[in-house]
Amino acid sequence: MRARPGENDRRPVAKGEVILRVEDLVKQFPVSTGLLRRHSGAVHAVDGVSFELAAGETLGIVGESGCGKTTLGRTMIRLLEPGSGRIEFKGTDITHLTRRQLRPLRRETQIVFQDPFSSLDPRMVVRDIIAEPLRAHGILRESGGRRRIRELMEVVGLNPDHDNRFPHEFSGGQRQRIGIARALALNPQLLVLDEPVSALDVSIQAQVINLLRRIQQEFGLAYVFISHDLTVVRHISTHVAVMYLGKFVETGTRDKVYGKPSHPYTQALLSAAPIADPAQRGRREHIVLEGDVPNAANPPSGCRFRTRCWKAEEVCARQAPDLTDRGQGHPSACHFAQVDTEVALPTS
Please, which residues bridge with residue 243 across strands? 248
Residue numbers in the chain where pLDDT is lower than 70 = 1-12, 276-284, 346-348
Closest CA to 54 of 253, 324, 262, 210: 253
Spatial separation of the C-alpha atoms in residues 60 and 214, rounded to whole Å = 17
Give whole-number Cα distances, 159 to 93, 163, 179, 219, 272, in Å.
40, 8, 15, 21, 39
Distance CA 80, CA 46 (A): 12
Burial of 96 from C-beta contacts in 10 A (0-12 / 13-18 / 19+): exposed
Phi first, then psi: give them for residue 222, nearest 5 degrees. Answer: -100, 140
How far is the C-alpha of 105 from the C-alpha of 94, rounded, in Å? 9
Length of the chain: 348
Q: What per-residue confidence (pLDDT) applies to 45?
A: 94
Hey, what amino acid is at 237? S
| Per-residue pLDDT reduced to its tens digit, 5-29 | 444 446 667 777 899 999 999 999 9
Helices 146-155 and 126-136, axial angle in degrees (round to 10): 110
SS3 160: helix
Radius of gyration of the chain (CA): 21
At residue 212, the 3 state secondary structure works out as: helix
Burial of 189 (C-beta count, 10 Å sphere; 0-12/13-18/19+):
buried
Core vs surface per residue 229-239: b (16+ CB within 10 A) or e: bbebbbbbbbb
pLDDT per position as a tens digit, 200-251: 888 889 999 999 999 999 999 999 999 998 989 999 999 999 999 999 999 9
> Looking at residue 222, what is its pLDDT?
96
Query: 3-state SS string over 96-136?
Result: CCCHHHHHHHHCCEEEECCCCCCCCCCCCCHHHHHHHHHHH
Max CA distance (Å), the chain: 65
Alpha carbons within 13 A on the beta-carbon side of 190: 25
